[in-house]
Amino acid sequence: MKTDFDILIVGGGLVGLTVALACGQAGFRIGVVDIEKPSEQLAESHDGRASAIATASFRMMRALGVADALVEGDDTHAGPINKILVSDGQAGAAPSPLTLFFDSAQIAEANDGEPLGYMVENRRMRHALHGQTKKQDNITWIAPARVSDIETSGAKTTITFEDGKSLSASLLVAADGRNSFVRRKAGIGVTSWPCHQKAIVTTVEHELPHEGIAHELFLPAGPFAILPLTGNRASIVWTERPRAADAAMALDTEKFAAELARRFGDFLGWVKPVAPRWCYPLSFQHANTYVGERLVLVGDAAHAIHPIAGQGFNMGLRDAAALAEILVQARAEGRDLGDAFVLAQFESWRKFDNTALTLACDMFNRLFSNNIAPIKHARRMGLDIVDKLPPVRAFFMKEASGQIGDLPPLLRGEAYI
């Protein structure tokens, strides 16, 4: 029976669009459904966050043509992360001298001389992804549209919209975020637990060059991350207990800037906020299964983690690369894209990796987000010990840059065309 599309993707966010481009490049007919107009998603006020894009993930963006869109002449929107400094301390005080330092030069061979990753503002990435989808004749936008029902029968799954119209496909991809309607409609449960933290996000300008160094300062209430953007700018992810975060958000501009500077320190000279501030509640969530009948979950619909290691978006990008490769292989073998065996391969490939990273992030957040003296001293010693073991340090850097494990072709920078 003929279907409208090979693949319908519900959710036109960063991960959903990456799935669309990855599968579209492989020649599948793609429909992208989203509740917002593309113009609303591209508004500057839509999302103030920035994402750390691991080296392997950025190779994928090059293969999909997205990286080129992040560069406009001599102007680039991708700031290299050359080094990472991890330290432990107290707000307003000098950090502990026992630190952990990662330098991309130490794994230059494995990384082909590239940095550990790149910092890209989400709005810039969204523009680049949107622009690339418009170039693909086999990718169709259906937006704004809200799904009201999903029905699977035989060789197709059909989604019905609130206006009564419907579309069908061989496979449905849920990329509609941590509160996924598609996941709930399929009856897939989640395991979730709170962090009892909120993240304040903004962008600052500073006096001195950051030289591509990302700083992760662990404070008792949670990590304070200074992430290098292009120019003399940095993305700030300031984690606090909910009441303290709400109080900080309520401060006027001058007092907020002063409180931010107290945590930031003066190592980059003067610092001032140059963007609005956003505040997001933090929690962990993991779907009990990634697949259903002619259905697969990707990105936050499948797993949502703490930003402590900057890996959340990269997990979604790895989902996209793995799914595209599995579907390409299924087509080559003459299999139905929605076949249960095909989808089980995706879950087998991705769930172990995502589960391990989710639990590791939770463990690190619990270990560092406290001021218990014995634990504090132990973790500072742990940072110092790892810093003095080059092979261990190299392993962590390869993991952070996405160089560990069985990589799909896109993550190796290999395009399907």
Alpha-helical (H) ranges within 64-219 are: 66-69, 122-134, 181-185
Q: Report pLDDT digits (tens) over 398-411.
A: 877 888 778 999 99
Q: Which amino acid is at 389?
A: L
Residue 73 has a pLDDT of 61
171-175, 216-220, 337-341: which has the minimum mean pLDDT? 216-220
Question: How many CB atoms neighbour CB 228 within 10 A?
Answer: 27
pTM more than 0.85: yes
Structure-token match 């997001």, residue found? 280
Q: Which two tokens stand for residue 285?
A: 């969530």
Round to whole Å and give the CA distance between 271 and 265: 9
Cis peptide before 391 (omega within 30 of 0): no
Q: Report pLDDT digits (tens) over 193-214.
A: 999 999 999 999 999 999 999 9
Phi, psi of 237 (to 5 degrees): -120, 105
Q: Tell how far CA 387 is from the center of its chain.
A: 26
Q: Report pLDDT digits (tens) over 242-299.
A: 999 999 999 999 999 999 998 888 899 999 999 999 999 999 999 999 999 999 999 9
Instruction: Please tell me whether residue 246 adopts helix, strand or coil conformation.
Output: helix
Which residues are CB-contacts of 415 (< 8 A; sequence separation ≥ 6)? 25, 63, 64
pLDDT at position 1 over 80: no
Q: Report pLDDT digits (tens) over 332-388.
A: 999 999 999 999 999 999 999 999 888 888 887 887 777 777 777 777 787 778 778
Round to whole Å and give the CA distance between 286 and 396: 23
pLDDT at position 2 over 60: no
Residue 371 has a pLDDT of 72
Round to whole Å and give the CA distance between 75 and 27: 32
Phi, psi of 158 (to 5 degrees): -120, 130
Residue 92 has a pLDDT of 65
Structure-token match 């956003």, residue found? 278
Round to whole Å and give the CA distance between 310 and 361: 10
Structure-token match 């113009």, residue found? 39
Q: Which amino acid is at 325?
A: E
The CB-based long-range contact list for 387-393 (8 Å cut-off, 24+ gap) reads: 387/98, 387/99, 387/100, 387/101, 390/106, 393/100, 393/102, 393/106
Q: Which residues pair with 151 in a beta bridge?
A: 158
Among candidates 102, 107, 400, 83, which has minimal Cα distance to 212?
Answer: 83
The architecture that CATH gives domain 5-76+120-192+284-367+404-412 is 3-Layer(bba) Sandwich (3.50)
CB 116 within 8 A of CB 105: no
Q: Report pLDDT digits (tens) over 88-132.
A: 877 766 677 778 888 998 888 777 889 999 999 999 999 999 999
Q: How buried is residue 388: exposed, middle or buried, by Cβ count under 10 Å (0-12/13-18/19+)?
A: exposed
Question: How many CB atoms neighbour CB 363 within 10 A?
Answer: 11
